[in-house]
Every structure is written in structure tokens, then in C-alpha cells.
Amino acid sequence: MKETILSKEVAGRVADRLTVLLGLAGLLKDGAFGAVTERQKQALQEMLQTSEEMGILLRPLFLQQDSSRP
């Protein structure tokens, strides 16, 4: 199996984008930009959960990348 190491720059960009997704979805869910229906809240909750799960899945790649450098 070929091992792929993420550069620090790529890892940082991915982390930044996940942070933005989590932040914006949270703001939308909380009604910061206007009223949200119950159905929309459910969809936003799914987005938040999926983004958090992606972060958990990607975290080992970031940690592996950091530990592989002297």
C-alpha cells in the first residue's frame, strides 16, 4: 500500500475549510442569518455531524504527517 504524506500546507488548508464549514453551519442552525425551519435545522445538524466526523477521520493523517518529520 502506497503511503501518502500530506504537506503541512495542505493539512492546514483542509483543517481551515472544515473549521469554516462547522462555523457557518453552526451559525445558520442558530438562526444568525434569519429564521430556520425545523427541516433546515435537521439538515444543518447533519452537515455539522458529517464535518466533525470528517475531522476525526482526517486527524490521524495530520498527526502521522507531523510525526514523520524530524
Tens of pLDDT, residue by residue over 5-15, are 667 788 888 88
| Contacts within 8 Å (CB) and 24+ apart, 60-65 | 61/6, 61/11, 62/6, 62/11, 62/14, 62/15, 64/5, 65/5, 65/6, 65/7, 65/8, 65/11
* Structural domain containing residue 26: 18-65
Q: What is the mean pLDDT of residues 13-34?
A: 91
pLDDT band with cut points at 50, 70 and 90 for residue 46: very high
- Is 70 a member of any domain? no
Q: How many domains does the chain have?
A: 1
- Is 61 a member of any domain? yes
- Is 48 a member of any domain? yes
Whole-structure pTM value: 0.69
- Is 12 a member of any domain? no
- Is 32 a member of any domain? yes
- Is 7 a member of any domain? no
Q: Return the pLDDT at 67.
A: 58
- Is 9 a member of any domain? no
